[in-house]
Amino acid sequence: MRKLASIILFLVIASNSFAQSKNSPLQISHLTGDFYVYRTFSDYQGTKISANAMYLVTDKGVVLFDAPWDKTQFQPLLDSIKTKHHKEVVMLFATHSHDDRAGGLDFYRKKGIKTYTIKLTDDIIKKESKPRAEFIIPNDKTFTVGQYTFEVYYPGKGHASDNIVAWFEKEKVLYGGCFIKSADAKDLGYLGDSDVKEWKQSIGKVKSKFKNPIYIIPGHEDWTNTESLNHTLKLVDEYLAQKSLGKK
């Protein structure tokens, strides 16, 4: 049933995607209701990699969850949102300190958009002398913007020491950022700032706290398969098993 549901979700999303080329540097797709997933790209070790982010259209304006990875798309994203929805972006949450999430904090803050990170992220950004968010939020905080309520939650270390997720209880949307790997990921990817042992525990906290998600958005590549969180746990278990055998 889950596989069938994923296929149906993919077909619905494909039919609702904006008219755009597969080579477009900014690709926006309708997820459900007022939720949209947008994708940008960057070169990583000689390979073009996509980064997923999300925005939500509310009565009070648009909320971004992570900035584009490609800085040339900072303004085009705002323009696209304005053209389609006739609303301004009012908030941006960066889900950890890496450039594919927090690289646009300075740009959007200067546009008058309220920018948010948790303290762990702010500490890292400050240490690296990079532009910081305007607002520092607790590790677990609920926001209401217009007609929508969502929770921003820090489950513990994982892909990064400061990774957070966002949960929409009513709509059952889990935005995972890089904390969650795509269901077709072959490995855990970049681990330079990871704690894989704690990642396993952190996944358990997310699965326990946020029940029965209908939509799960990972940080990179395919985001239409709702098995991505379970697949991330599988990759973590495989990594830890290999490490215990001295293969990592």
pLDDT at 247: 62
Instruction: Say if CB 95 and CB 152 are below 8 A apart.
Output: no
Instruction: Dump pLDDT digits (tens) for 108-148.
Output: 999 999 999 999 999 999 999 999 999 999 999 999 999 99
The mean pLDDT value of the chain amounts to 92
Burial of residue 230 (number of CB atoms within 10 Å: 0-12, 13-18, 19+): middle
* Mean pLDDT computed over 165-179: 98
Is the pLDDT score of 7 beyond 80? no
Q: Model confidence at 32, in pLDDT bands (50, 70, 90)?
A: very high
pLDDT at 244: 85
Q: How far is CA 77 from the centre of its chain?
A: 16
Instruction: Dump pLDDT digits (tens) for 179-188.
Output: 999 999 999 9
Beta bridge partners of 53: 38
pLDDT at 111: 98
Instruction: Say if CB 96 and CB 178 are below 8 A apart.
Output: yes
Judged by DSSP in three states, 158 sits in coil
Residues in the chain: 248
